[in-house]
Amino acid sequence: MKIVIASCAVADCGIGRYDEELTKALHASGEDVTLYRKTPGTVPYIKSYPYRSFRELRHYVAPYYLSKGISHENPDIFLADYVDAGFAIGLSGKKPKAIVTTAHDAIPFIYKQKPVDFWFYKFQLAKTLKISDSIVVVSQKSKDDFVFYTGCSPERVQVIYNGINHKFFYPDLVRKPNSIFTIRYVGGLSKHKNVEVIIRTAKILQDRNIPVKFELGGGYPQSTPLPALATELGLRNVEFKGFIPDSELRSFLAGADLFVYPSLYEGFGFPPLEAMACGTPVIASGKGSLTEVLRNGAVTLDPVPEAFADAIEKIADDTVKWNLLRANGLLVANSYSWGKAASETLGLFQSLTGVR
């Protein structure tokens, strides 16, 4: 089976991780697969296409460039990694045996952005749903929400969980103790990520004289209100680390005593699972798919400062509880693999195309 994965994304984002890991897992299983994305890969079956745009226009023009980049391909199946890539496949005029689009979640409906951006998303979605034989989402919660907001038939929507790369995310052989109990976060700093809860949690713990420090990873913190809030609250226990590159991500996660993730909505939630795979206990929001995905491998609770502060204090003071949470986290994280995700994706492709 010849498979082409189409993407308007770059490598260093959640969708970019999905693209690369799934492509490599499909290739490892012996499939003829090619990924087209904006940025080049380190293997010959990950290709880039010519692309130029002002930052403000990138979401509008990327599908055009992608449609040109894949115009010479004639696969058995196209997999669009998101709605914009599905729209690009439509623009290309290609008609393979089947088209599958991974919509991931319903976040654009729940956390609307600028009206013009939301309108364009819905325009692309309508075109994508028209040409797609199946839609993939990454959790049951995502499926329920996607069906609710789009009216798409549930039979057309398939749940295939993401994987974790356990060759990249693994615990330190020997844990180096931190001089002070270190709590870390990595991810976006947008409103629905709810990082303000971490700032206010830090204030509660500082007022209680609990000796902890918070290190927050996420790009461009200075463009958010978070540093100003930390200053306003007089925090001495919070540090903004900026963007954490992949080359430092494993050690950042594995070196923490605790990982916190107060997001208000996730379709899947890579960061807490990756922290669990690195042997770091996790306290996370119970919103969106997080309770479903993290199961008993993390403490999930209402994402409010008082609840997070109480949970942190209990775990920081209880070695037995910390070790149990760490062990459960490793077990749950190990149940997710890209090999499994690729196998389920390939099964869907075969059912749609009849090609083995």
Over the stretch 86-136, which tens digit does the pLDDT of each residue have? 999 999 998 899 999 999 999 999 987 789 889 999 999 999 999 999 999
pLDDT recorded at residue 53: 65
Contacts of 265 (CB under 8 A, 6+ apart): 105, 107, 110, 111, 192, 287, 288
**Spatial separation of the C-alpha atoms in residues 28 and 85, rounded to whole Å:** 24
pLDDT recorded at residue 114: 84
Tens digit of pLDDT for each residue in 261-280?
Answer: 999 999 999 999 999 999 99
Round the average pLDDT of the chain to a whole number and report it. Answer: 94
**Spatial separation of the C-alpha atoms in residues 40 and 46, rounded to whole Å:** 7
Q: Which helix (H) or strand (E) holds 37?
A: strand 32-37
CA atoms within 13 A on the CB side of 41: 20
pLDDT recorded at residue 307: 97
**Spatial separation of the C-alpha atoms in residues 226 and 279, rounded to whole Å:** 28
Regions of the chain where pLDDT drops below 50: none
Judge whether 251 and 102 are in contact, CB under 8 Å: no
Q: Which helix (H) or strand (E) holds 291?
A: helix 290-294
Contacts of 103 (CB under 8 A, 6+ apart): 82, 83, 125, 135, 136, 137, 142, 146
Q: Residue 275 class from Cβ within 10 Å (0-12 exposed, 13-18 middle, 19+ buried)? A: buried
pLDDT recorded at residue 185: 98
Ordered by where they begin, the domains of the chain are: 2-163+337-353 (3.40.50.2000), 181-334 (3.40.50.2000)
pTM of the predicted model as reported, rounded to 2 decimal places: 0.92
